[in-house]
Chain A
Amino acid sequence: MRCAVIVFPGSNCDVDCFHVWKDVLGQPTEYVFHKERFSAEDFDLIILPGGFSYGDYLRAGAIARFSPAMDSVYKAAEKGKLILGICNGFQILLEAGLLPGAMMKNRDLKFHCHDVYLKVGTADSPFTNMYLPGEVVKMPIAHGEGNYYADADTIERLKREDRIVFYYSDEKGNITDEANPNGSAENIAGILNEERNVLGMMPHPERCAEEILGNTDGKRLFMSILEYLEGRVKIGKSRRS
């Protein structure tokens, strides 16, 4: 299944995402430079990688959304192609309006790089069908602006539509303030769009997808995508709206 990794000026997890899809999952993978447009038909999965696009000057992700490659991303999203935004990629998806809400600086104003526990909010998605709902997994975070905010109505709707994919939790799955590394509303670490083909998440699944890195919890996210794209799973059962 063909994947495009978008390279914005300042992307720095592009090589890591490329490595996982290409070398770990053995799938065809290409870089798409931000100045290029592409055809939605050419790819099954589009990854917006982490990093500091345009230096994150102004606001994280704020400038990247205007790049030519993003025009093609909008179109691909409309056509139901899978879009995965990780870290800065999540921030770009928010700025682009492909996902609801906004990102603020971490509440302690510090960059955080460490493992977090995540409670899987929904397994009913192209990205998480190989996890169990309610399961606790571990992934690294590395960000300074991961404090997710959305108004109460939006959050209510995300919950109602089962679109919250990951919550920051403790090892046992309790969603507590102590387990919230950045101050995100309701401990939200990742969300889906209404059509469930766009996922934005702050943790880095590509950094925990190989045995040698001591953790493979992230690999299942990429395997879920493959399962879905190859037609072995169906999703949307829990869509209630």
Chain B
Amino acid sequence: MGKAEEAKKLGLTDEEYNLIVQTLGREPNDVELGMYSVMWSEHCSYKNSKPLLKRFPTIAPHVLQGPGENAGIVDIGDNLAVVLKIESHNHPSAVEPYQGAATGVGGIIRDIFAMGARPIALLDSLRFGELDDPRVKYLLSGVVSGIADYGNCMGIPTVGGETYFNDAYKDNPLVNAMCVGIIRHDDIIKGKAQGVGNSVMLVGAATGRDGIHGASFASEELSEESESKRPSVQVGDPFMEKLLLEACLELLKEKWVVGIQDLGAAGLTSACSETAARAGTGIELDVALVPRREKGMTPYEVMLSESQERMLIIVEKGHEEDVKRIFEKWDLYAVKIGEVTGDGMLRVLENGKIVAEVPAKSLAEGAPVIKREGKRPVYMDVQDLDYSKIEIPENLSEVLLRLLASPNIASKAWVYQQYDHTVRTDTVVPPGSDAAVLRIKGTKKGIALTTDCNGLYCYLDPYEGGKQAVAEAARNLVVTGAKPLAITDCLNFGSPENPEVYYQFEKCIDGISEAAKALEIPVVSGNVSFYNESSSRVIFPTPVIGMVGLLEDVKKRCTMAFKNPGDIVVLLGENSDEMGASEYLRVIFGIQGGKPPRVDLEREKRLHLCCLKAIKKGILSSAHDVSEGGLAVAIAESCITGNLGFEGEITSDIRADALLFGEGQSRIVVSLKEENLPALIELADETGVKAMVLGRVVPEYFRINVKDSKGGFKKIELSVEEMADIWSKSLERKVEE
């Protein structure tokens, strides 16, 4: 087989191959071709997404590190900073859910401590098909135990995330893992191979044949053959990673450490070329020096192995023994495999003989950008739903119970109780609320964390869906009392080669950018995952937004649970006549359609200001964002989690089901002592937010009356005990039935 043909087989286009030949001034050898094929895969090169990602706002005074490094960093004062990053592990999880998810967690943790930070929290954003499919149950159980076994062993609490079920994800589940770390400003370290003559060392686990071409596997659609790619999935060892974490953090206190980089996708090839490219240097290494766990590995295999739990460390010449001493304490090896050079080349030797020699910058950053044109999908032109044809159900109490039973709305305790979420004793608002809150020991501060995205919204209107994901994530932080600080995004899409998918991608990015600009929340890190499709379906566009917020005084944090009988319940924001894309239409009528709810970003911003001020003043007993399932579900959740009831009456000319179950945006349900009501009304006036009294917190029943001006009347009447049983146990029942 000719080289050009082989290149094609490895996923390189003719144009890319020609560029490689031109760059090298000769044909690449097998090792070089392998290295190019992984580094220029979509997964490593972002060649389809790069130009669009530039649209994100990434600069703000508190941003210490924006996109381009292992993770983003934002200042939180007190000489401290928060490090954050989210990443997908979708394809590996589709063929080997346990290891796929576990190594996803392992990889994202390494990204955080590669910046010198102590990882303090994990979140997981998951999407699966509907639970009536046995394979979906297998995937869900495998993914959850993979995340649990890895995160739990590491002693990093898994404090939040989301789990959604929709047939769109049946063949291609999404597993996005986010990690957050904390660091002192002066401890921040970069992934740069600086200083000619400095030593390049490999530490952690030995290198095996696992995960070879994992990055390429992640850059193609799932197919019948994907099962056979199981060997492309890496195998995780959380114990090894825990040792690696402690050893690296100990090492990074030393001033002679120049740079550090984790070995993830494309292994040594990527770690060496990226660190050298960032510093404008080169690296020369000898693969014979790399500790192996298998005999007879070729240079090709060593350079492309994605064996987990390894890091590349660049230290000042002469400190190699110091590195070894620290790693030996943790029973890990540290081996010098090469050194930094000044010629910009990544030169790979085997026992002193050159086996590959390519410009590091060309490998890491030289993949030709692919310019694509999007095409508006045909389905978007289909007329909006005619709601007059949808009759309002007689029994709205029954509707509410069915919504509370939907796995998309029901409690995710079955998932998060398998994760250790209390280790490190910082979790002051545990999973199950709008956002998790962690205290920062030694300060008065806290941080709030969330991930959000509604894939159906993004499918029906990618631009509005992108906007909504940001607004919703921010709102989830705001209701805890946290000011949103930064975004890390995980953009999950189908094949970018499909113009309709590319359109979705572009519009989602525009929506995210617009909302991020309006709400002044910079994007500091992220990840793109394309090719999430099978021969029969493409996933919903799912740009997951991970967000971190800051509470200046963690004691003032707020939660969604009602606290005191007699408290007044108030809606901040306005009800709207929007019903499209709702969980209500999906669960009750089997309709996934209509226009998703729109976010007015100005209004959203004012709402956040109002809620944050109210929490800061200490006048709220609870605050909860209105999202899937609408107003009725939001109030019900505040009841269930507070083990209290609600009684109220709403007069409105919006049709009753849209009012109760529509997912109109920019709304927060709060409760407060009656004596604080005037202060809240004043705050709402001042910030230009509508405030409407909905009713009162009562001991045990749940009753909402809805009236319109023409004398129409509807009601919901339920016992909180019944609602709680359904909401708390539905997911477990569906998984285990």
B425 touches A (CB below 8 Å): yes
Partner of A113, one of B145, B331, B422, B425: B422
B355 touches A (CB below 8 Å): no
Pair A207/B441 contact, Cβ less than 8 Å:
no
A114 to B732: give the CA distance in the assembly, Å: 15
Partner of B239, one of A52, A204, A207: A52
Pair B153/A55 contact, Cβ less than 8 Å:
yes
- Give the residues in chain B near A142, CB-CB below 8 Å: 152, 420, 422-423
- Give the residues in chain A near B420, CB-CB below 8 Å: 111, 113, 142
- Give the residues in chain A near B145, CB-CB below 8 Å: 110-111
Q: Report the nearest A residue to B331, measured CB to CB.
A: A9
Pair A12/B155 contact, Cβ less than 8 Å:
yes
Pair A113/B428 contact, Cβ less than 8 Å:
no
> A10-B153, A111-B148, A142-B152 known; A55 and B419 CB under 8 Å?
no
Min Cβ gap A23→B in Å is 8
Q: Report the nearest A residue to B425, measured CB to CB.
A: A16
B95 touches A (CB below 8 Å): no
> A51-B155, A111-B152, A212-B554 known; A140 and B239 CB under 8 Å?
no
- Give the residues in chain B near A111, CB-CB below 8 Å: 145, 148-149, 152, 418-420
Most chain B beta carbons < 10 A, residue from A19, A144, A210: A144
B475 touches A (CB below 8 Å): no
Partner of A213, one of B419, B421, B425: B425
B483 touches A (CB below 8 Å): no
A52 to B149: give the CA distance in the assembly, Å: 10
A121 to B423: give the CA distance in the assembly, Å: 26
Q: Report the nearest B residue to A12, measured CB to CB.
A: B155
- Give the residues in chain B near A170, CB-CB below 8 Å: none
Partner of B425, one of A11, A55, A114, A207: A207
Most chain A beta carbons < 10 A, residue from B153, B329, B413, B422: B422
Within 8 A of B (CB), among A9-37: 9-13, 15-16, 19-20, 23, 33, 35
A-B contact pairs, 16 of them (CB 8 A): A9-B239, A9-B330, A12-B242, A13-B423, A15-B424, A16-B424, A19-B425, A52-B242, A54-B239, A55-B153, A111-B419, A112-B418, A207-B422, A207-B423, A207-B425, A212-B554
A214 to B417: give the CA distance in the assembly, Å: 18
> A55-B153, A110-B418, A213-B428 known; A10 and B148 CB under 8 Å?
no
Pair A140/B422 contact, Cβ less than 8 Å:
yes
A206 touches B (CB below 8 Å): yes
Min Cβ gap B729→A in Å is 13
Pair A52/B425 contact, Cβ less than 8 Å:
no
- Give the residues in chain A near B153, CB-CB below 8 Å: 10, 12, 52, 55-56
B439 touches A (CB below 8 Å): yes
Q: Report the nearest B residue to A52, measured CB to CB.
A: B153
A54 to B237: give the CA distance in the assembly, Å: 11
B154 touches A (CB below 8 Å): yes
Going nearest first, the 8 A-B pairs with the smallest beta carbon separation are A12-B155, A55-B239, A142-B420, A52-B153, A16-B425, A111-B418, A207-B422, A113-B420
Min Cβ gap A168→B in Å is 15
B243 touches A (CB below 8 Å): yes
Pair B419/A206 contact, Cβ less than 8 Å:
no
Partner of A13, one of B155, B329, B554: B155
- Give the residues in chain A near B240, CB-CB below 8 Å: 55
Min Cβ gap B248→A in Å is 14
Most chain A beta carbons < 10 A, residue from B239, B413, B422, B425: B425
B462 touches A (CB below 8 Å): no
Q: With A52-B238, A111-B145 given, can you name 6 additional A-B contacts, CB distance below 8 Å?
A: A19-B425, A50-B423, A112-B417, A209-B425, A212-B554, A213-B428
Q: Report the nearest B residue to A210, measured CB to CB.
A: B425
Within 8 A of A (CB), among B454-480: none
B555 touches A (CB below 8 Å): yes
- Give the residues in chain A near B427, CB-CB below 8 Å: 213
Contact flags A190-218 to B (C-beta < 8 A → 1, else 0): 00000000000000101101101110000
